[in-house]
Every structure is written in structure tokens, then in C-alpha cells.
Amino acid sequence: NIEAEVLFSIFSENMTPELWSRIAEEVAKKIWEGFDGVVVPHGTDTMSYTAAALAFALRNLPVPVVLVGSQRSSDRPSSDAAMNLYSAVLVAGKAPFAEVTVVMHGETADTYCLVHRGTKVRKMHTSRRDAFRSINDKPLAKVVGDRLVIINNNFTPRDKSRELALENKFDGKVALVKTYPGMSGDIIDFLVDKGYHGIVLEGTGLGHAPVYIFESLKRAIEEEIPVVMTSQCLWGRINMNVYSTGRDLLAMGVIPGEDMLPEVALVKLMWVLAKTRNMDEVRKLMLTNIAGEINPRTVFSAYLS
């Protein structure tokens, strides 16, 4: 018993935080109406951003919410659209977990689809059908034909008696900045001057940034603009206590992003800043695992799995 509704039709590179909020609101309405699960078709380019946004916005989920897309359009013989959609509907209706997930091909052939946690997934290839991979985590499950095979037992169980809370506000004045050799602190100063409320750094290695932007970072933090550190490495977690550069960044107030993906940290900071601008409260929330975005321990076997 399936119902379909079109909210809007755009290329996913044109998504905005306002549209994340709208999707979350419509998903919440369907859950409050008693549906056993919700499938959200989405373009693959920014699907992981939307998955993270829904994971933060839909608190205390009672049923699965499944994002799905395709790498090849449905008019092509090699399309993955039908199998991905079929698998997504199966997950929404039958999965034992109540999580925001992404369902896409698990390999290039039509053998199975993988179910990824919405805050631990990234598109890792421009065109392959199996482009999506879980990062710093194992996939929750795989779909093989009509069978759902659980891979990762660390999930919130489905429970329709659970009362969903909708918290779908996002602060769009947050920037994601990739550090690089020779970068200028002017980039950070520009964001401060333009009234941005938060900055996520995609730093190097264990969570580093060049010393020649330190003064600009200090200025941002002194003006109560939280700065969160993530890593360009993607796999692994931030550890800013190992080298003096990281320790100096910690001392000035940079928030370590643990094992969060840079784009997930961006979405989370948008969500947090819509709740509070208090620096202590922002730090506390950014360091708290809200929707599976932070693992307490590094999953060793998850690397390139």
C-alpha cells in the first residue's frame, strides 16, 4: 500500500537548507499519519547532505526514512534506478531499524544494494553505480533480491509507538572551508566580515591548519563564531593532541569534529546554530552524538570496506 507525492523537482546541486526543512516537514507528516516508512528519491550529487539534514531534523524516529537515487537514468540499459527504488521500498517497509538511510547499489553488477546510515555515507565516485560508501562505519544492511541482510547491529530499532519530534531549522550562514598550503587568512576574515555564524574546517591529517591562518581563526572565535575541525582524509578521526599545531588550535577554542565527515559536520553545525549561538552550548552539542554521526571508537574494519 504505497502513496506517492512530488514536493519539487530540481537538480540536487541546487538544494538549500530551506528545502531540507521542507522535506523533513513532509516526511514528519507522513510518519504522523501512520506510514510504516518513507522513501525520498533524490539526486545523488548532494544526497548525503540531505540524508544528514533529515537525520538531525527527525528526532526520535519510529520508522525508517530512506533516501534513494540512481547513477544512471532510467532510459539507459545500465540504469540502476529500478533496483535501487525497489530495495529502498523494501527497507522502508520491512527493516528492523528506525534510521535515516541511503540505499544504493553495493557493486557495479545488479547483485545487491547497500543500506548506509545517513550520517556516515558519501558519494565516492562520479559515475559508478556503486558510488556510495559508508565512511567510518559499516553499512547497516544489504538488500539481495527480496531479502534484507543485517550487517551492522548498531541501530535504533523500529518502534511505531515512539513519538517523532520535528526539529527542522537550519542556519544557512555556515561555511565549509578546505585548508591547503599557502591559503590566506583573508578567507576566514571574509566570512567573519560577512556575518557568518559558523565555520567548518576541512583540515589535514589529524586535524591541522596552517599557522599563517591562526590569527584569523582566533579572531573568528573571539567574535563568537564557532570553528569545527574535520579531516580531508575522511577515514579515521580527529586527534588534535598529537602535534603542537593541533594542540594550539584546541587551545584557541577550535572544536574537534571527531570522526564526522566534513559535510556532516557542516549540516550539524547549521542545525545546532539554529538552536543556539551560545559558544559553550554549541561546543557541547557538536561533541555529542545526535544521529550516529560520531562513533565512540574508530571502526577498524570499516576502512575501504
Question: DSSP letters along 190-243, please?
Answer: HHHHTT--EEEEEEBTTTB--GGGHHHHHHHHHTT--EEEEETT-SS---TTSS
Whole-structure pTM value? 0.96
Q: How confident is the model at residue 5 (pLDDT cuts 50, 70, 90)?
A: very high
Structural domains for the chain: 12-166 (3.40.50.1170), 174-286 (3.40.50.40)
Q: Give pLDDT tens digits for 6-36.
A: 999 999 999 999 999 999 999 999 999 999 9
Q: What totals of helices (H) and strands (E) does the chain contain, helices first?
A: 8, 14
Residue 77: per-residue pLDDT: 84
Count of CB atoms situated within 10 Å of the CB of 153? 10
Query: What is the chain's mean pLDDT, rounded?
Result: 97
Which three cell numbers, joined as nine digits, stand for 178? 578546505
Mean pLDDT of all residues in 115-133: 97
Q: Give pLDDT tens digits for 159-188.
A: 999 999 999 999 999 999 999 999 999 999
Residue 75: per-residue pLDDT: 85
CA distance 148 to 87: 9
Q: Give pLDDT tens digits for 210-264.
A: 999 999 999 999 999 999 999 999 999 999 999 999 999 999 999 999 999 999 9
Query: In Å, how far from its chain's centre is CA 282?
Result: 18
Please state, in angstroms and as integers, the Cα–Cα distance from residue 257 to each residue in 198, 203, 222, 282, following that order: 13, 10, 19, 12
Residue 209: per-residue pLDDT: 98
Mean pLDDT of all residues in 46-67: 99
DSSP string, 30-81: HHHTT-S-EEEE--STTHHHHHHHHHHHEET-SS-EEEE--SS-TTSTT--H
Q: How confident is the model at residue 78 (pLDDT cuts 50, 70, 90)?
A: confident
Q: What percent of the chain is predicted at pLDDT more than 70? A: 100
Q: Give pLDDT tens digits for 263-302.
A: 999 999 999 999 999 999 999 999 999 999 999 988 888 8
Residue with cell 584557541: 252
Look at strands 58-59 and 65-68 and give their pairing: unpaired
Residue with cell 530540481: 10
CA distance 164 to 258: 27
